[in-house]
Structures are given as C-alpha cells and as structure tokens.
Chains A and B, each alone.
Chain A
Amino acid sequence: MQVELRGITKCFGALRANDNISFTVPPSTIEGILGENGAGKSTLMKILSGFYSPDSGDILLDGEKVKIDTPADAILQGIGMLHQDPLDFPPLKVIDDFILGEKGGLLPNRKRASKEFKELSARFDFSIDPESYVDTLTVGERQQLEILRLLWLGARVLILDEPTTGISLPQKEKLFATLKKLAAEGMTILFVSHKLEDVEALCSRATVLRQGKLIGTMELPFATKALVEMMFGKEMPQESKTQLKMGMNVLNAKHIDLDGVRIQIKGVDLQVHAGEVIGLAGMEGSGQTLFLSACAGLSQPVGGSFCLDEEEKDMTGQTYHEFRKKGVAYLPAARLEQALIPGLSLTEHFILSEGMRGFFIDRKKAEDLAKSRIALYNIKGRPDSTVESLSGGNQQRALLALMRDPLKLILVEHPTRGLDVESTIYIWGKLKERCANGTAIVFISSDLDEILKYSDRVLVFFAGRVTPPLNASSLNVERLGRLIGGKDWDMLETEAAHA
C-alpha cells in the first residue's frame, strides 16, 4: 500500500512537534525514519497510527484521503503499529492477547484463531506456544506476537518504533528477515530508529527528521556522513577550551556492571576529577541514565564499586541519601515529576532542601532565605509561587538554587532540555561557577553541541556499550554522531589497543 503524508502539523503548546511534513512511501518499501530524540519521529508515527490527531494535514492511502481518529480506525485502514514497549497484555495467554483486537461476536472463536495463529507462525518460522502466557515471552517474542496479531487483523502498513532495542542478535536477524519477506509481499514498512547500522542493513530508503521538520529522503546506497549531518545538523565551530589541570579524584567508578529493564551495561570505568565536566552522550535509553543514577546511589550496580573522594571511601550499595551527605547532588530531567514538588512554594522547597533545625518552621528566616536565593539565581517568581507555576527555565534555575554548598559532584540529566537560549547560557554559567570552585559535573545530553561545548571528556553510550572517556577536543559532531549511531566502535577498540 502506498502511504502519503501531506502537510502534517502537530503542536503541543508552543512546541511544533511536526511542522508541515510531507512525503510518500511507495508499496513494498522499507522506509527508515531517522532523527535524534525529540525530532518528531514518534509523534508522526502516532498520528499515522491514530494515537494523535494532526492539527492540520492529510493522510492518503493508495491515493485516497482517509480519516484516522483512533488506533482502531488505523487498523481498519490497514495500518498497524508496533510500539517500542509492546502494547500487549502480560497476564493473558498468547492466544487471548492475539484475538483481543478482533471485531467479532459475543464469543471468540478460539479454535479458528488458534489454527490461523499457528499457520501464520509457521509462515515466518516463529515458535510461540499459543497456550503460554505473554509474560513468559522474551521482548523479541512479544514483538513477533504483535506482528502476527497486526497481520491477522489485516495490516498492510507496519510501523515499528525502535524495534531492535532490548532484543537479542538472532531475534534481530529473524525480525529483519521477516520484514524483508513482508515487504517483498507488498507490505509497506516504516522503521523508526536511531541506529544507522540497522537502517543500512534493512531499509531501502531513509527519511530524516530534525526539530519537527522533514530534512530529506535518501535512497540506497546511503552516505553515512550525509545522514549524520542531516540528523544532527552542520558542524558548529568550537571555541577552544582552556585545558584544565587534573584535580583530585572525586568519584572513582570501577568496573561497574548495571542491569536495567531493557539494557545491560558491563564494566564501565570512570574517574571523575574535581572541577571537571564529563558529558554522557547517546540516544535516549542507551544506558546513560542508568549509569548516572547509579553514580548517586539511586540504582544499585550488580558488579563493580563506587568510591568517593581521594580517600577512596567505598560507597557501593549505599543509598542516595548517603551519597548526598558526602556532597553528591542529582538533578533529574523530569523536573516536576522527580525533582520538585507541585503544590509547594519556592520557600517551602528551600526549607526542605536546607534541612533546617528545630521543630517549628521559622517563617521569617525561611522567607529571607527564599528571597536571597531567588535574587541570586535570577528566578522569575515570588517566594510563595508554587513550582508548577514557574516556566521550565525558572524551574531549572530553582533546581540549581536548591543545591547545597559545597558540593563535590553534581550529576545532571539534560540540564537545558526545553530551555531557551538565555536560560541555557545562564544555567551553564552557574554550573561552571561551581566547577571553578572544584565541583565536578557529570551530565547527560542528547544535544551534541552541548556535549562538545561544555564537556572536558565524553562517554558515548550505545545499546549498553560504553566508550572509554574520550577527550572532547578529539571529537566533532560527525564523529560523535557516528558513535551514537553505533558506527566506528571497532575502530575505537583498535585505537585503544594501540594506545
């Protein structure tokens, strides 16, 4: 089936997630949809599959305009979406999960469904027992189940959102073989990914989105350099950084192994020195957050050890509150969900973070504290403003203002995500001030310019693999982009072997 999008626009508040996007995918095509986090890939796919309605624009299937308001409409029109986290029912039996979406009478015809399930399975060489429970399946098998289910419901367009995350290599090969077979049978496949190698191995065309806009479409053979440039933008001239002299050890992560929900990390070594800034780069979900939160005791490693200070105090297995006492601060990206308390005022936040003594709250003292911090951090808000009434930039300033003094190590997720230029510069100014006083900073960012501009050293994460610390001066947007997309890793190992 031919899929055509015409002028699709979708806004969330002030954010234009999709900005006038038009393109056509011919039948029997596997189209790669590329772009960094927040480029608008998922929004576009959710519009196509009926989860969102576009603000404007049309969807045409085989040249005919269709109206898709719900996921049920989408599947009726033949569009099925396989979500990154499979939308299935773990407590159900496979066969019950399989027949759930079917429009049917009062009593489901299990026998017929079971027969058809087995036939479909056999066609693609899948081996799932229809009587087993969904929660006993691996992520790969759950994907297979979803694919079978969507095909059974009559899907002729299949959308896959980051399907290769969390599945094993043989499962990935089987998935790719299945998709190629389906495409040969006339199916149109939209393959959303940030992994260049997957797109190169599978897709016949690639379309790149950036900041909600369509940047371009490329046919085979793909030029990796051009794709990276399309995804991340042109090289920005870097200002030269003053080479920092190595301060004392603040954090020593020795051979850290971590087990996440969908990702495992093995053997990360990192020594963080006083006054240093370390950037963690990689697509979201590549393991950066897992590692950063483990550095603060918010998640526990399954192997290796964390030591703080030059005295090498072993902190492995300690809670965040123990790390906090030793001068470690953690700033989550989800400000209102994980860092601030909606409903409480700025003053109340300052009272809580200061850990004041006494029984009754000294309102006068608290308000003075709030006033001075608000002035110092240039927060646009009053002491009695609730945090949710502040803008994103001011919430982030408030988070910085809540950090105690002195700190040895600040761990930040996406310090400037969603902020305007002025706030970005301000936030980094404040963070750099801390560095000048000997505080080390480790931060996650999906903005490559931010990583290159502010880091002294960089760790790149890709599907649970982690590079050794790379000097930021040896990197540029292209090299970093290739590493983030899973390219050049062998070269890195050879380099390391030579070094």
Chain B
Amino acid sequence: MRDTRTNRILFQIGAILFALIVTTLVLSLAGAQPFAAYKYIMLGAVGSWDVVSNVLVSWVPLLLATSGLLVTFTVGLWNIGIEGQITLGAIFTTWAMRLLQDSGWNPSLILVIAVLAGMLGGTLWALLAGALKTFGGVNEIFGGLGLNFVATALNIWLIFGPWKRPGVASMSGTLPFDRSLWMPIAAGSSRLTPATLVIAIVGIIAVYATIEGTYFGLKLKAVGRNPKSAYILGIPTWQHMMASFAICGVFAGLAGAVQVTAVYHRLIPSISSGYGYLGLMVAMLVGYKASLAAPVALFFAALNVGSIQLPIILKLDSSLAGVLQGTLVLFVILGQGVRTKLLKKTKVSS
C-alpha cells in the first residue's frame, strides 16, 4: 500500500462507517430502531434555531478545552488534568463573583474580572501538574488524574460547605447569581452568549496561528517530537513544557469561567461537564491538527445536544452520543494504526 491522500481519506471514511455499524448494533441490541434514533439526534441538533443555539452553547467550552489540549499535545504532553483545571477555573470565577456581586460595580467589569480569575485558576492548577512533572518526576497523566480528584473534592466541599445555599446545601449547586451578572444572551435565543462564542473562536485561531506560524510554536513541536534533539539544538525543553501547561490552563480556566458565567450561573458539582475528557477525544480524532478542531468539536457538541431528545422520544439513554463518539475515536485511531502497519509492510517487501 502506498502512502497517498486518497487512502488516508478512505481509511477515515471506513472508520466512520465502522463506528456507525457498531453503534447501530448497540442500538439493535437495546431493542431500539437505529435509524429513528439517528433521525432524532439530527433533528435534536439542527431541527430549530433553539437547538442550534444549544449546540453552540455546548461547543464553546468544548472548543476551548480542545484548543488548550492542542498546545499540550504539540509539546508531547497528555494533560489529562484538564478536567481539574476547568473546575478550578470555575471555582476561581465563582469566588471572584461572590466577592464582587454586592460591590455595586459595573456588571461588565465584574464579569471581566471573574473570567480573568477563572483563567488564573486554571493556569495555577495546570502549572501545579507541570511542576510535579518537571521538578518531581511525576508523569503528567498520574499527576493530572490526582489533581482532578482534588479539584472535584474541593468543589464539592465549597458547594456543601462555605458556599452553600442559605438554609440547606444542595447537589444543584450554589445559589444562582443575579441576572445582571449573567453573560449577555443573544436576542432570540434562550442561552447563547455571543461574547463567549467570540472568545472560543479567537482562541482556536490564536492556537492555530501560534502552532503553525510562530517560532514559539515550532519550538513546541520540536520539543514534542524529540526533546533530546531539541535540547541539542539549543531549545530549553522544560521551560517550553511549563509554558504549554500554562497556556492549556488558561484555556481550561476560560472554559470553567464560561460554564459559571454563561451556562449555569452558579457553581455545580459537575461543573466541568466532562468537556476536558471530550476535548481529549476531539484532539485525538483530529490528529492534533488545530485546523480541524473547530468543525469536529462542533460535530461532537451536536451529537451531545441531539441525543438529549432520545430519552423523551425513544426511551433511550442520552449516553448514546458517548457511544458514538467513543467508537468513532477508537476506529479512527485503529485505522491509523492499521494503515501505518500496512505502509511498513509495503516498505519492507518493496
């Protein structure tokens, strides 16, 4: 087999087909009608302006998380701690809002400060994982996983302890902020906030430009592909790793801030909504290429939102979206693996 563009695309299409087949099988086993399910997912994602705006609401934090992860993947790091970084972003944002909500300041100013605080929270948590790796020799996957649990525990403690609702603490989170402290919502939509959409789009463009066009991005790539050689070429390696952790932390913190200021308007126990892990899947699916991140993240967001309808209409669990997303990632990566093996075989025999 030759390494051509055509067969690369064929393998991708094959992966999507296999993912659909497996999902269809799962649906049939569950006794559901697969095609009805797909139809309702589609309708649930693009059927009306309201659901489309819901897709965009879900797209923003997912794209932010993916953008950050692209930076850490470029430098060769598996920043699995992004979930905790999103949570810390949300906690810092809530903290800033709680401090300032009765100050009488301009609400826009409070929102800006709260978002900046969220970025700071995410960055600090990411730098902690980075410091553990650089100075403590703790693999970023283990460090990140540990910090995720700490972040969740901290979040729960705040919700049920110091920041609990007046009266009785509740799983539904802290007391919602005053409407004046919500991110401004677009006219004609119930939830879409244009400001966060702009942030996410500017973010992914900035990441793309940095990785593809700047010296800094090239150095990240060099360190990611071969830290030993990069060091011999004069590139400070651990400093670049720390920088990429910090950048990913900024994006994760932003995602957390968006969840608090634009989606839930309060701190809830599962504030990260799994966007960190989903972002990891998107980044893997696009082969760590920033140019494809936005559309694929949009597709994932659409699947998530579209499948919300399933329990109501077909009495199916909405986690079907997760099955489809998971099998898709597995088959695409499997396809890449098989392809590489076939290419190697051709090389040897030729």
Contact = CB atoms under 8 A, between A and B. Distances in A.
B226 A342 contact: yes
A353 B228 contact: no
A319 to B, nearest CB: 9
B274 interface: no
Contacts of A352: 218-219, 222, 230, 233-235
A356 interface: yes
B135 to A, nearest CB: 16
Interface residues of B, number: 20
Interface of B: 209, 213-216, 218-219, 221-222, 225-226, 228-236
Contact of B226 (A320, A324, A341, A360): A341
Q: Give the secondary structure class of B's interface.
A: helix
Contacts of B236: 321
Contacts of B213: 360-361
A330 B228 CA distance: 12
A342 B221 CA distance: 11
A359 B214 CA distance: 6
A332 interface: yes
Interface in A17-64: none
Nearest to B234: A324
Contact of B225 (A344, A351, A355, A361): A344
Interface in A302-323: 320-321
B234 A341 contact: no
A91 interface: no
A418 interface: no
7 contacts: A337-B228, A338-B229, A339-B233, A342-B226, A344-B221, A348-B218, A402-B233
A15 to B, nearest CB: 15
Interface string A475-493: 0000000000000000000
Interface centre among B215, B231, B232 (most CB of A within 10 A): B232
Given A332-B232, A341-B229, A348-B221, 20 more contacts: A321-B236, A337-B226, A338-B228, A338-B229, A338-B232, A339-B232, A341-B221, A341-B222, A341-B233, A343-B221, A344-B225, A348-B222, A351-B215, A352-B218, A352-B219, A352-B222, A352-B235, A355-B234, A356-B215, A360-B215
A344 B234 CA distance: 16
A149 interface: no
A81 interface: no
A82 B63 CA distance: 54
Contact of B230 (A341, A359, A402): A341
A105 B216 CA distance: 58
Contact of A337 (B216, B221, B229, B235): B229
Interface string A184-214: 0000000000000000000000000000000
A170 interface: no
A284 B214 CA distance: 41
A358 interface: yes
Contacts of A356: 215
A351 B229 CA distance: 14
A349 interface: yes
Interface of A: 320-321, 324, 330, 332, 337-344, 348-349, 351-353, 355-356, 358-361, 402
Contacts of A343: 221, 225
B215 A359 contact: yes
B300 to A, nearest CB: 27
Contacts of B215: 351, 356, 358-361
A177 B222 CA distance: 52
Given A337-B226, A341-B225, A361 B214 contact: yes
Contacts of B222: 341, 344, 348, 352
Contacts of B235: 352
Contacts of B226: 337, 340-342
Nearest to A337: B228
Contacts of A351: 215, 218
A341 B233 CA distance: 10
Contacts of A341: 221-222, 225-226, 229-230, 233
Contacts of A337: 226, 228-229
B218 A353 contact: no
A361 B218 contact: yes
B305 to A, nearest CB: 37
A356 B215 CA distance: 8
A284 to B, nearest CB: 19
Contacts of A361: 213-215, 218
Contact of B229 (A321, A324, A339, A359): A339
Top 4 closest pairs, chain A to chain B, by CB: A341-B226, A338-B228, A341-B225, A341-B229
Contacts of A358: 215
Given A342-B225, A358-B215, A349 B232 contact: no
B234 A353 contact: yes
Contacts of A320: 231-232
A330 B232 contact: yes
Interface centre among B222, B231, B234, B235 (most CB of A within 10 A): B234
Nearest to A349: B233
A454 to B, nearest CB: 23
Interface centre among B215, B221, B230 (most CB of A within 10 A): B215
A444 to B, nearest CB: 16
B76 to A, nearest CB: 11
Contacts of A330: 232
Contacts of B219: 352
A348 B214 CA distance: 11
Contacts of B209: 360
A321 B229 CA distance: 13
Contacts of A344: 218, 221-222, 225
A79 to B, nearest CB: 28
A351 B230 CA distance: 12
A353 B218 CA distance: 11
B233 to A, nearest CB: 5
A330 B231 CA distance: 11
